[in-house]
């Protein structure tokens, strides 16, 4: 009985960024994927535009059309990964790629970031926001959590910084409009844009806080305090 190939949850770039495979192995995988994907041709040998045949190994060969889309190409190559990776590699990637990628990204970000010991704003610990450093330190102490070397500073960002007519009507045009319909085919566009501009200005002070990956707050001084 043939065992179905497992699905790879991540694409080549994500696997590369995770550092789970050596650069040499990543290059081998990429070359193997190249070899498994060939143009789809008519019986007379004429290649079909933006159509390819992907070799999935024991699972067979599959035709992918509309490969002028980057998303389709990524999906096509990812579909071949289970036939290229070893079972151990596939399991490792599916189970740990996301966390490993985040660790690698944070190491690279920290190396480039400005390091500060004093900070009077908010901060991010993992995926949790703290409005002050005292609040963050109280959390670490009360929960008995291990103190990390650093946390990311929080920076304010305006929730609604831009908004145009296309943002509002795009889905309606796509679902109900005629082929090649554009915003300019509608009436009252200038008036709606003026109202949207006023709405943006009225909400300039509505902000949220996101991690600032260019500023790392070193926690050693705070822990000592």
Domain match, 128 and 218 both:
yes
Domain match, 125 and 211 both:
yes
Residue 31 within any structural domain of the chain: yes
Residue 4 within any structural domain of the chain: no
Residue 127 within any structural domain of the chain: yes
What's the domain count of the chain? Answer: 3
Could you give the CA distance from residue 40 to residue 55 in angstroms, rounded to a whole number?
12
Could you give the CA distance from residue 147 to residue 198 in angstroms, rounded to a whole number?
45
How much is the pLDDT for 225?
A: 63
Residue with tokens 């409009």: 177
Domain match, 55 and 118 both:
no
Domain match, 105 and 18 both:
yes
Domain match, 27 and 84 both:
yes
Nearest to 137 by CA among 155, 125, 127, 126: 125
Residue 188's SS3 state is: coil
Lowest mean pLDDT across 79-88, 106-115, 166-175: 166-175
Domain match, 20 and 91 both:
yes
Residue 178 within any structural domain of the chain: yes
User: Structure pTM?
Assistant: 0.67
> Is pLDDT at 4 greater than 70 in this prediction?
no
Residue 92 within any structural domain of the chain: yes
Provide the residue range defining the domain that includes 65.
Answer: 12-109
> What is the DSSP pairing of strand 150-158 with strand 207-218?
antiparallel
Domain match, 197 and 213 both:
no
Task: State pLDDT tens for residues 46-100.
Answer: 988 889 999 998 889 999 988 888 889 999 999 999 999 999 999 999 999 999 9
Task: State pLDDT tens for residues 175-221.
Answer: 899 988 999 999 999 999 999 999 999 999 999 999 999 999 999 98
Residue 182 within any structural domain of the chain: yes
Q: Phi/psi at 120 (nearest 5 deg)? A: -115, 20
């Amino acid at each position: 009985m043939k065992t179905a190939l497992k699905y790879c949850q991540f694409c080549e770039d994500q696997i590369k960024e995770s550092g789970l495979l050596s650069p040499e192995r990543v290059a081998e995988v990429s070359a193997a994927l190249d070899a498994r994907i060939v143009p789809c041709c008519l019986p007379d040998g004429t290649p079909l535009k933006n159509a390819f045949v992907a070799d999935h190994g024991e699972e067979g060969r599959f035709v992918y059309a509309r490969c002028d889309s980057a998303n389709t190409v990524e999906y096509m190559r990812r579909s071949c990964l289970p036939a290229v990776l070893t079972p151990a590699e596939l399991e490792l990637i599916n189970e740990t790629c996301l966390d490993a990628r985040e660790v690698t990204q944070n190491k690279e970000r920290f190396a480039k970031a400005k390091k500060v010991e004093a900070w009077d704003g908010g901060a991010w610990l993992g995926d949790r926001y703290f409005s002050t450093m005292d609040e963050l330190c109280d959390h670490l102490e009360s929960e008995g959590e291990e103190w990390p070397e650093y946390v990311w500073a929080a920076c304010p960002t305006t929730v609604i910084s831009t908004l145009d007519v296309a943002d509002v009507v795009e889905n309606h045009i796509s679902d109900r409009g005629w082929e090649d319909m554009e915003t300019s085919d509608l009436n009252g566009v200038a008036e709606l844009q003026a109202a949207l501009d006023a709405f943006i200005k009225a909400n300039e002070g509505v902000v949220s806080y996101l991690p600032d990956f260019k500023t790392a707050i070193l926690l050693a001084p705070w822990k000592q305090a």
